[in-house]
Structure 1
Amino acid sequence: MRERSFDAISSSSSSFGELRNKIITFFEELRGKKLLAEGKPEEKDMIFPELKNHVRELMMDQFANYLVQKMFEVANEEQITELVMMVVSQEHKLMNICLDTHGTRAMQKLLGRLTTAEQRLLVVSALRHITITLSKKANGHHVIEHCLNYFPNENKKYILSVVADNYLDIARIPQMTHGILAQLAGNFVSLSTNKYGSNVFEKCMKKASKEQSMQIIQEIIDSQNFLTLFQDLFGNYVDQSPFSHAKGSIRHAIMNLIQMHYSYLLARARGTR
């Protein structure tokens, strides 16, 4: 089989349809596969502009999405940033990608290649506006879940805030609720004593199911930093929330802990040791 010259692709592709057909044919041949796997940077740079301009459509294509994912794997940091900017530039197209069977896989592959705070901020700034819609659909849920699983706290807090504001709707989706609690597990004390995190904590406690709220409370009373919740300025604001939800043995455990440390807590409240 004669190898097709990439120049024929990069120089004359004017529409998505033309580009799609040429790319698929090109990559089905050995030359296309070797270019991404072993090609020189300047060779890869030749294909990048064409793919970038149509990346959103290619991500949802039954065949081309695999080639785009391969491109994500070999793209450098600057190219990934350009791709992210293109993908998130239009909200409705971003939503279509995330909800599409092929698009969601390509989107998760792209998310896995993010290495800078700028790239992640671009993504969460766009996703926060469509988080609830995505969370209610299986394909979209996987995108949000990826962000919650792999993004640093300073990035995913924007998505968590949206989720907290709409917790009642989200709670109807078992996978999403489980994912959120799993992400917050081990951090409820620190979250509840943080200026911004306390808002998320408060909303979660108010809208969580009985079983979910019991899990949160159990973690708090089992924590070595339990007293921090009652000492901290912001913790004092939310400390009533666990009490309003605690029942039975867990409520008794909380009361016992407070009674055991009553003198210490009282002294702290008065500003003395």
Structure 2
Amino acid sequence: MNPSPSSSMDNPTPNHAQSFSLRFGNFKMCSDGNLELAAPTATAVADKSCLPEQGLEFDYKPGVFPPSTSKNNQLFLDQDSNFVPDNGFSSITNNVVYTGCDVGSTSNVESGPQIDLSWLQELLKRGDPVDINMLLLIMQGSYLPLMTDQALSSVFKKLVGSCRSNQLDLIVEDVLLSSQSFINAAFCKQGASSICKLIKRVKKPSQALAITQIFSTQFLAMMTDDTAKSVIQTCFDCFLQPNKVLYEQAILYCQDLAKDKVGCISLNELIEKISGGERLRLLNTIAACSAELSFHEYGNYVVQCLLSLRNEPTLSSLVVLGLRGRIVELSQQRGGSHVVEKCMMASDLGLVYVVKEIIITPQAPMLLAQDLYGNYVIQKAFKETKERGLERLCELLMKTLEPYRRELNQTKCGKIVLGFLKDATTAYKKNTLVWRRL
């Protein structure tokens, strides 16, 4: 039965001859308008004190149905009932309440009404507190399935956006009752989006802390998941003090995060946002293991992020000092060469340490100049020493490469370095640069 738009203007005559009931959420609504617990043992509702008086909240009439959180977005007739109601309209919105008959494979009933989501959309758009209270009562204990449902997650987000402070409290308290289910929801696209919407609306520190404490128990798993990490990042964006429990986990697991394909991105994003004493502790912890991370396929990105921070000379010095004796080796790796370049760019100390180690290592200048990745390090060394006016350092680097012009001219990478060498030699002879001694 698919009503036409005009049918919403006609109030059908309800069928009072047969007794029936509808199940939705934790409740069962009978044809006489009474609302009862669908499952007396349900933990979500301890007693019937939360049920509204007949007609008080729902303004119920046969043929007019409240929304359902049942599977497939559908309302289900009680299995003991043979009643199939006529099309009706909502006494609240004057819109058609249901549009179909298919109840899916989860019911033994062959036909029954299907909810029209436009009814919910209109109700939520109006934002009437009484209507919102009705929905909150119906959906009590069913928010988590609602949050993760592909079709109904949008309804949850609109509901959260329409709630007042005291109404939002009911949702937060409900979803936090099942902490593991709350965490699980963060690992699916719809669930993560729903949780992010909820987090953005939470203002009470106690609720924010409860949320971050729950997520802290699975911090590493969430930060290394493409979907769930958005939930943690939203906490970082929206909360302050409650994030301290998450910061502690970041410090504890920073090395594991740095070595993960997704975790290294999450950690870099955190580095940009973290503040206070936890920030210094996190950065120092990463710097302490930067030598190992620099050689890792993902960890090197975190070290690069550390070296790119402005006004952090102590950190860059710690990284450079930790890499002493391994600069040439690191320069021949794809990610490692970027780390070495960042070391030179971070400070004069880093530039001096890198260039001097290359110069004093036998055949290192020629080896790096012909290497697929190392040649970029040599190019950066010439560029930085020239721009900063480090005459002696640039001159030493030129002299170490001069004997290998023939070998360099035989490789593609070597020819590129020869171009830099030629420019540096010409500039030096013409004295066009303003040099300064260290």
Give the TM-score, by structure 1 length.
0.69
Contact residue 108 and residue 143 of structure 1 kept, 8 A: yes
Match of 2:271 among 184, 191, 197: 184
Once residues 173 and 322 of structure 2 are traced to their aligned partners in structure 1, the CA distance between those partners, rounded to angstroms, is 43
SS state at 1:143 partner:
helix
Unpaired runs of 5+ in structure 1? Answer: 230-237, 257-273
Distance 1:246 1:206, change over 3 A: same
Give the CA RMSD over aligned residues: 3.8
Q: Which residue identity does 2:179 align to in structure 1? A: E
Amino acid aligned to 2:38: S
What residue number does 1:94 align with?
Answer: 182
Distance (whole Å) between structure 2 residues aligned to residue 182 and residue 101 of structure 1: 20
Aligned to 1:261: none
Is 1:108 the counterpart of 2:196? The answer is yes
The answer as to whether partners of 1:87 and 1:94 remain within 8 angstroms in 2 is yes
Identical amino acids, percent of aligned pairs: 12
Please state if 1:14 is matched with 2:38: yes
1:206 paired residue number = 288
Residue 129 of structure 1 deviates from its aligned partner by: 0.6
- TM-score, length basis structure 2: 0.46
Q: Which residue in the other structure is 1:216 paired with?
A: 306
**For residues 308 and 351 of structure 2, what CA distance do their matches in structure 1 show?**
13
Q: Distance in 1 between matches of 2:173 and 2:117?
A: 30
Of Structure 1 and Structure 2, the greater strand share is in 2
Cα contact 1:84–1:122 (8 A) shared by 2:
no
Which of the residues 231, 242, 248 maps onto 1:143? 231
Q: Which of the numbers 246, 253, 256 marks the counterpart of 1:169?
A: 256
CA contact under 8 A between 1:36 and 1:70: conserved in structure 2? yes
Structure of higher CA gyration radius: 2
1:119 aligned residue: 207
Provide the C-alpha distance between the structure 1 equivalents of 2:71 and 2:150, rounded to a whole number of angstroms: 15
Asked if structure 2 preserves the Cα contact closer than 8 Å seen for 1:206 and 1:241, the reply is: yes
Higher helix share: 1
Name the structure, 1 or 2, with higher relative contact order (CA <8 Å, separation 6+). 1
How many angstroms does 1:74 deviate by? 0.4
Q: Does 1:253 align with 2:349?
A: yes
**Structure 2 residue identity aligned to 1:151:** C
Is 1:159 equivalent to 2:246 in the alignment?
A: yes
The 1:214/1:17 distance shift into structure 2, 3 A limit, reads closer
8 Å CA contact 2:120, 2:155 repeated in 1: no
* Distance in structure 1 (CA, Å) of the matches to 2:323 and 2:273: 19
Tell me, yes or no, if the aligned pair for 1:27 and 1:67 is still in contact at 8 Å: no
Q: Structure 1: which 4+ aligned runs deviate by more than 4 Å?
A: 1-4, 8-11, 23-27, 238-244
Deviation at 1:123, TM superposition (A): 1.0
Distance in 2 between residues matched to 1:99 and 1:174, nearest whole Å? 17
Counterparts of 1:185 and 1:17, CA distance in 2: 42
- Partner Cα separation in structure 2 for residue 135 and residue 91 of structure 1: 17
Q: Measured at CA, do residues 82 and 29 of structure 1 come closer, stay the same or move farther in structure 2, by a change above 3 Å?
A: closer
Task: Report the count of equivalent residues.
Answer: 236
2:134 pairs with 1:50: no
In structure 2, distance between residues paired with 1:239 and 1:217: 6
What's the offset of the Cα at 1:117? 2.1
State how far apart, in whole Å, the 2-side matches of 1:104 and 1:155 are. Answer: 19
Code of the aligned partner of 1:82: L
- The alpha carbon displacement at 1:140 in A equals 1.3
Letter in 2 for 1:184: I
Quickly say closer, same or farther: Cα 1:166–1:73, change in 2 above 3 A. same
Q: Which amino acid aligns with 2:132?
A: K
1:91-136 superposed Cα distances (whole Å, 9 cap, x missing partner): 3211221112321221122122222323321210111111112223
Cα offset, 1:55, TM superposition: 0.4
Point out the more displaced range, 63-72 or 111-120: 111-120
CA contact (8 A) 1:27 1:33 kept: no
The residue that corresponds to 1:235 in the other structure is: none
What amino acid sits opposite 1:160 in the alignment?
Y
Q: CA deviation at 1:141?
A: 1.7
Unaligned runs of 5+ in 2: 12-21, 30-36, 40-68, 77-96, 99-113, 295-299, 325-342, 353-438
Q: Distance in 1 between matches of 2:72 and 2:187?
A: 23
What is the deviation of 1:144? 1.6
Secondary structure, counterpart of 1:185 in structure 2: helix
